[in-house]
Chain A
Amino acid sequence: MRRKSKALASLVAASLVIAACGGDDDDDATPAEEPATEEPADDAEEPADDMEEPADDMEEPADDMEEPADDMEEPADDMSDEPATDVVTDFGVDAENMVIRVGLNADLTGPFASLVVDIVEAQKVYWEVFNEAGGYRGWTVEPVVIDSGYATDKGIQNYQEFAQESEEGVLMITENTGSPITSAIALDAADDNMLTIPLSWASLWPDPEYGSAILEKQATYCIESINGVEWLKDLVESEGGEATLAIIGRPGEYGEDGSAGAKIAAEELGIPIVYDGTGAVAGDDRTAVISELVNSEATIVWNTLTPGELLDIFGNAVSQGFTGYWSGNSPSFSYPVHMPSDFADQFSQYYFQSYYQAPWATPGIPEMDRLVAEMTARRPDLNISDAYTTGWIEGMMAETLFRTAIDQGDLTRENIVAISQDPSFSVDFGGLSANQSWPQDYNEALVRSTWIYDVDASQYNLIPMSEVTADNPGSSGLIPIEQDYVGTVAGSYQFDGPCIEPSS
């Protein structure tokens, strides 16, 4: 039996015991609001029956999974269905035709394009569904997508186009790829009242000082690292080993935030850090980092890298006989990059993916069933993708904001930001990810749960959605083994503020 399999079995057994001893499950969790959308086309594949069974050993959602706030706005079904024509607007809204413009400042050609293209497509489908159902009280949404290529200067230029104070601008940015670009526009966004949903999980954004107009979703990189390192420690110890930690991160908010979380976990759990490569991955030759990592003989590695950097460092380390377990912040691991690589088997053996949400076609999640049905019906030629969940979630956040704003009769940028800062504002993701609200207190605002997947290259089978059948469901090769996992450290740690300082 492979080393990883043995360790997994031990950990799973421990998880089952913990789950059995646990308290309530999430039966009483509020289901996602069901927006009045069109039924999927009749010829859409039935999503539920042919989906992969969940791993039997998948841990139940953590008991302390965040519940929607009690005073959360009621679902909008009780509002009038009459068109809301008496609405105050300013920029990015075509009041005459009742169209809200949203911006996606997306990396469609850069290092994260393999994931972001799918995220953008899912959000576009989300708005198609929304619009075809008549929108909300007559208001529909028009997504405007501009490629940043993950270049900060281009991202800033795109932002300026979105921020135009006219109908040609957008009401809010519903997807902004990357920490560097988000960091570069954060202050302008605050000044312009341009609410922005980042594709960045930096711990800066829950802090109103840095992210008053940045509506971050899910756990921060810092918390993701804390959970991931604790989980890996338990894994190593479950097979009788001793956890020693190597940290590898790239410079900048993303890398430094992830590395900071790993250090917090190490300190709280008493794990020796045998190699600290925070910010060490720079330049094209990573021989020095690989050498130090291999010589450290760490038993667990936490990385915060780009997929290409991870492939290089991981590949060379295992080629030199390094046998520690690996995990890292998303999107260090990217299945479209790593699964077809020559190190797919080694990733299966040593790597665990950390993430924030349910992957494609996870059974038992109603909102996932809807996502699968709509994506399959509307984009049958596209491949299945775990990244669709992210775009869908971004759409849910924005829709919740717009419904509230329309009901309030105020679709101005300022009001959108105000709603996002209202303690009663929360979004129920219907099981796709932990429900979330955005109170102004830093510690209260944090989502502390993450997901952990096993990497199994033997199951990797990306196929067009139209070809999905019961016998051939397709898979990214990422199998959830922990859903809404909250480690002991992440669950109770009190932060003084963000884990890092902004770089700009």
Chain B
Amino acid sequence: MSIATALLANAGTTFIQTLVKALALGSVYILIALGFVIIFKGTQVLNFAAGAISMAGAIFLAIMVGDGGLPFLPFDNPLAPSLDDPDLVLWLINLVIVLFIAALFGLVIERIAIRPMVGQPLFAMAVITLGIEVAIRPFNLDATAIQARTLNVPWGADAWELWGAQIPKSYVAAMIIATIAGAVVILFYRSRLGVAMRAVAFDQEAAMAQGINVGRVFAIAWGLGAALAALGAIVYGMAPFPPGGQVSQEIHPILALRVLPVIVLGGLDSASGAVYGGLIIASAEVFAGEYLSQWNSTLGSGYSTIVPYVVMLIVLLVKPYGLFGTAEVRRV
């Protein structure tokens, strides 16, 4: 009886830990997926530079709170928190500043590389974003190759204990941050500017005819998208996510690629699809990793990485535009 109770308790603990991990990873996916969706919705371009932009944002934060410097500037950061005992409020202020810098970074990219391409085929613009990815990547790799880039997260790898399960504070933080970001995106879409963006997404020429400044919509989409992508990478840097409190040269560059099944599943132009897609894909990945682990040798090492694509394929067979994507209607 006592053994059965212990086994049940252990199973419960494992389930809670797995669920929390899935929700936390889902939160990361949601943040980055929202970045994809906002840019796609505003500009009809799939942003292949999201990976490099997100990692650059995480590096900006590491420079500010880890190195005590300022991105692109040879000055010390007067608001840098202590390395030994980082102050939460100071750290959050730095986080907000970095999100602004990341948004500015997105605006600059849009102005230099995307705006001149307005009116050109969408495929060409997508290829341009690939070029941006390649151009930013060396900066990211150089910044992380030699020196560890700590994010100096105030709570580090601390965890709470809940019914015997370890609940890392970073996982809870990820959920809170994703909830706040999701709320901001919803409010944005309900704003005048958000409505303008939806109009542009629907028909650029019609929107222009209505007096909507399409260039401005493009810029805001890129700024917001870059900030969300950076936020996702920062959250993913917190321990016990794999980078362990740092910006990882191994893991961060491929994070955005892992989000592709999320946006395809949810629908490229659907914010709510990004949310549901993030949670479904992360849950499938984490629960499969946990509960099929005894068949690791049969399924093949790293099988859990493939699970998101399997789920995506199954859904696409039924709903080709994703769960919440707008179906394209053509007159034939």
Give the B-binding residues of A (Cβ under 8 A): 108-111, 113-114, 117, 251, 277, 279-289, 291-292, 295, 306, 308-309, 311-312, 315-316, 319-321, 336-343, 346
- Which residue from B142, B248, B258, B294 sits with its C-beta under 8 Å from A109? B142
* Interchain CB contact under 8 A, A308 and B251: yes
Min CB gap A457→B, angstroms: 12
Q: What are 12 residue pairs bridging A and B, where the CB atoms are less than 8 Å apart in the complex? A: A111-B250, A282-B302, A287-B286, A291-B293, A312-B242, A315-B157, A319-B240, A336-B146, A341-B239, A342-B156, A342-B157, A343-B244
Q: 8 Å CB contacts to A: which residues of B227-241?
A: 238-240
Who on chain B is nearest to A308 by CB?
B250
Binary per-residue interface labels of chain B (156-186) against chain A in the complex, 1 for a CB within 8 Å, 0 otherwise: 1101000000101000000000000000000
* Interchain CB contact under 8 A, B244 and A283: no
- Which residue from B239, B254, B300, B306 sits with its C-beta under 8 Å from A342? B239
- Which residue from B150, B254, B304 sits with its C-beta under 8 Å from A288? B304
- Which residue from A109, A285, A287, A288 sits with its C-beta under 8 Å from B145? A109
Which B residues are in CB contact (< 8 Å) with A319?
A: 157, 159, 166, 168, 239-240
Whether B215 is near chain A, meaning CB under 8 Å from some CB there, is no
Across chains A and B, which 4 residue pairs bring their CB atoms closest together, nearest first? A283-B302, A287-B289, A342-B245, A283-B305
Question: In which size bucket is the chain B interface?
Answer: 35 or more
Whether B243 is near chain A, meaning CB under 8 Å from some CB there, is yes
Whether B126 is near chain A, meaning CB under 8 Å from some CB there, is no
* Interchain CB contact under 8 A, A289 and B296: yes
Q: How far is the CA of A346 from the CA of B166 in the complex (A)?
A: 15
Q: How far is the CA of A274 from the CA of B141 in the complex (A)?
A: 38
* Interchain CB contact under 8 A, A291 and B242: no
Who on chain B is nearest to A117 by CB?
B146
Min CB gap B80→A, angstroms: 15
* Interchain CB contact under 8 A, B145 and A341: no
Who on chain A is nearest to B250 by CB?
A308
Given A285-B289, A291-B289, A346–B21 Cβ distance below 8 Å? no
Whether B5 is near chain A, meaning CB under 8 Å from some CB there, is no
- Which residue from B156, B285, B297, B300 sits with its C-beta under 8 Å from A285? B285
* Interchain CB contact under 8 A, B245 and A113: no
Indicate the member of A108, A283, A288 with the most B CB atoms within 10 Å: A288
Whether B77 is near chain A, meaning CB under 8 Å from some CB there, is no
* Interchain CB contact under 8 A, A288 and B292: yes
Q: How far is the CA of A313 from the CA of B104 in the complex (A)?
A: 35
* Interchain CB contact under 8 A, A341 and B147: no
Q: How far is the CA of A309 from the CA of B244 in the complex (A)?
A: 10
Which B residues are in CB contact (< 8 Å) with A340?
A: 66, 148, 150, 245-246
Q: How far is the CA of A430 from the CA of B292 in the complex (A)?
A: 52
* Interchain CB contact under 8 A, A287 and B293: yes
Whether B290 is near chain A, meaning CB under 8 Å from some CB there, is yes
Whether B249 is near chain A, meaning CB under 8 Å from some CB there, is yes
* Interchain CB contact under 8 A, A320 and B245: no
- Which residue from A282, A292, A338 sits with its C-beta under 8 Å from B294? A292
* Interchain CB contact under 8 A, A315 and B240: yes
